[in-house]
Structure 1
Amino acid sequence: MDKSRKTVVEYLDKILADSEKAAPEDLLSSYKGILYPGTLCSPETFQVLDSFEARSDDVILATYPKNGTNWLDQVLNDLETTAAKYTEEEIKERINITNELSLFPRLEFGDPEKFKRMKELPVRRIIITHLLPQVLPKSVFNSMAKILLLVRNLKDTAVSYFHFYNNIPTLPSFGSWDEYFTAFMHGKLCWGSYFDYLVEWNKHMDDENVMAITYEELKENQTLGLKKIADFFGFSLSEEEIQTVAEKSSFKAMKEKSSKTHGAFGKILFRKGIIGDWKDHFSEAQNKEMDRKFEECLAGTKLGEKMKYGLYCKA
């Protein structure tokens, strides 16, 4: 394993080990009424979140947990490095610089000094966050950095997050699917309510620096989805290069190498990666409850229409 991968895996494995030893009450923290994983997100980091200085050329991926975050993280990195025509050595050097500055995944993860270190990064930054838009540092919008919003159908998101919660030691487990479903519907999970997340991001659907793409459209035609993403960020790639990135970042390919890229986290992060898994979990009453909530919160909105709820969330 090369140095760049080893550092990331060691960091992730340490988080898992620390979480397994943590007291149950220490697994969660809260900021402005929203829960976060205590071993990953510190109150001190949130207190200085606004000190983060976004750059106009930053590549920002905004997504709720279990929407395909790690998948698109890989996609964006591959698109950016391919378009820039970096050599393998230059790619490794970029990763090594990031590791030496202790800049690990997610804007909200890590210690409060990380934002000072981020200023030192001499290359184009790819920044990932699960935060609501109103919690993001003001500079993210003031800089006009381009933001890719990745969303996934509500029912598959709920199921994927359920399995994630119960399989990862950084979060407290739920005794049953029914108990979890109630928590999901009321936003009593880390990073809060997915409904609130979608409602708030819908307010930015007309922003010229924000583009929404769905997990489903990427699954059904990944090559076309990657072309849209490349065009949005101004990445210049040939048809062949787009296809190579698509093959390299397929769910199957990423799952097969997940132990090398994410250590013990790999088995937890990459489960099924399919559309429609919710049909094996939802009761008729739960289907109706979520359908009503969608109608109440998102029906008729631009983001709600883009998600094609009737196609992906109706039996």
Structure 2
Amino acid sequence: MSDDQTVMPRALLVPVKGILLPDHIAKGFDAVSAFCPHPSDILIAAYPKSGSTWTQEIVDLLLHDGDAEICRRAPIIERTVLLESTTRIRRRSGLDQLKEMDPPRVIKTHLPLHMVPAGFGENKCKTIYVARNAKDTAVSFYYFCQMTTFSPETGPWESFIQKFMHGELAWGNWHDHVKGYWEEREKRDILFLFYEDMKENPRREVERIMKHLDLSLSDEVISRIVELTTFKKMKDNPMVNQSFVPKEIYNQSISKFMRKGEVGDWKNHFTPEKAAEFDEDYEKKMKQVNIPFRTQL
């Protein structure tokens, strides 16, 4: 089949509870909302392109005593289920995948907290939220949207960043997303991770995740997990790097799913004028909270 025949139409954005979602996800949202997890299930949440894949791989390795071979048993999207995923990108929807798995299951979501099924809170499921500074998130999300039909057309960087600032992208406004989980982190025992902290001291953050999951692994195993989850190792790991996703969905000749994994790449994309505009908007939206994001290390 030629490339022309395999091109999939771009997703459209549809509002659901005030949040824009890709149309194929919006269509099945009622069923997602009604999902009831088992108390032993683990939830990993993040705004897109904030470090959730990295966190998934760490959690899977922690749950399997750092055994690299076990964690190569299947692609990461089979080992950790995106709750709201649909058959557009996978053979089965996330809900269908979960029906076939025995608890404890590791479940991922990009949904803002107010759209996460109530059962996760009611059943006191272990929850991990990973957040990345807004500028680097915007850059990474831009390249992701360029390479996938999972997202609508992005337009040029200049218009994309305006959409990012105004919450006109899939999964809503970054500012509200991170604030929602931050403000509820203590009440709901959410482990709030920062991408920048994970880059700066990965061992410390792996140990924090281990303790949150009530696990106890040896120093040797922790060291192995840290090594296996470096950006280079994951980028070269076919069970993590999404190379298994068909080109008509993820065209990695445009941009790799795992592109740079750096802190501060935003400096290569923001003009001084745009950075100043972004910072002013950021201050207005984040003035009521004190979330210690860092835009460089």
Aligned to 2:84: 108
* Closer/same/farther in 2, CA of residues 313 and 115 from structure 1, 3 Å limit: same
1:256-306 Cα shifts (integer Å, max 9, x gaps): 12477522546631000001000111122222222223222224624x13x
Alpha-carbon separation, structure 2, partners of 1:227 and 1:78: 12
What is the CA–CA distance in structure 2 between the aligned matches of 1:170 and 1:17, rounded to whole Å?
17
Whole-Å separation in 2 of the counterparts to 1:138 and 1:18: 41
1:215 and 1:113 map into 2 onto residues whose CA distance is 28
Segment of structure 1 superposing worse, 148-157 or 120-129: 120-129
TM-score of the superposition, structure 2-length normalised? Answer: 0.83
Does structure 2 conserve the Cα–Cα contact (< 8 Å) formed by 1:51 and 1:137? yes
Residue aligning to 2:176: 196
Give runs of aligned pairs for residues 179-194 of structure 1, distance below 5 A: 179-194=159-174
CA distance in 1, matches of 2:45, 2:167: 18
- Pair 1:291-2:274 in alignment: no
- The structure in which a higher percent of residues are helix is 1
Q: Are 1:71 and 2:77 matched, yes or no?
A: no
- Alpha carbons 2:61, 2:68 under 8 Å: kept: no
Q: Which residue of 2 aligns with 1:231?
A: 211
Match of 1:279 among 267, 273, 292: 267
The CA distance in 2 between the partners of 1:203 and 1:209, in whole Å, is: 11
Question: What's the counterpart of residue 145 of structure 1?
Answer: 125
What secondary structure is seen at the aligned counterpart in 1 of 2:282?
A: helix
Mean CA deviation greater in 115-124 or 127-136: 115-124
Amino acid of the structure 2 residue aligned with 1:108: E
1:55 is aligned, of 33, 38, 55, to 38
Amino acid at match of 1:251: F
The letter for the 2-side match of 1:286 is: K
Alignment RMSD: 3.1
Query: Is 1:21 matched up with 2:8?
Result: yes
Distance change in 2, residues 1:87/1:156 (3 Å): closer
Distance 1:90 1:172, change over 3 A: closer
Which shifted more, 278-287 or 126-135? 278-287
- Identify the residue that residue 105 of structure 2 maps to in structure 1: 125
The 8 Å contact of residues 20 and 170 in structure 1, kept in 2 or not, is answered as no
* 8 Å contact kept, 1:60–1:145: yes
- Structure 1 letter corresponding to 2:49: K
* 3-state SS in 1 of match to 2:81: coil
Matched, 1:38 2:14: no
* SS in structure 2 at match of 1:21: coil
Q: Partners in 1 of 2:240 and 2:117 — Cα distance?
A: 32
Structure 1 distance, partners of 2:71, 2:195, is 30
What amino acid is aligned across from residue 170 of structure 1 in structure 2? F
Separation (CA, whole Å) in 1 of partners of 2:176 and 2:102: 35
Q: Any stretches of 5+ residues in structure 2 without a counterpart?
A: none
Cα distance in 2 between the residues matched to 1:89 and 1:49: 29
1:130-159 CA-to-partner distances (Å, cap 9, x unmatched) read: 001111111011111111110001110011
* Paired-residue identity, %: 27
Distance 1:287 1:87 in 2: 41
The change in CA–CA distance for 1:140 and 1:17 in structure 2 (over 3 A counts) is: farther
Residue segments in structure 1 that go unaligned for 5+ positions in a row: 1-15
Q: Distance in 1 between matches of 2:261 and 2:68?
A: 31
CA drift of 1:116 comes to: 6.5
Distance 1:255 1:115, change over 3 A: closer
Deviation per residue, 1:182-218 (Å, 9 max, x gap): 1111111111110111222222032252110100000
Name the structure 2 match of 1:135. 115
* 1:177 alignment partner in structure 2: 157
Q: Which SS does the other structure have where 1:67 is aligned?
A: coil
Alignment of 1:256 with 2:243, yes or no, is no
The residue type equivalent to 1:61 in the other structure is: I
2:64 is aligned to 81
2:276, 2:189 → 1: CA distance? 35
Equivalent pairs, count = 282
Distance 1:123 1:17, change over 3 A: farther
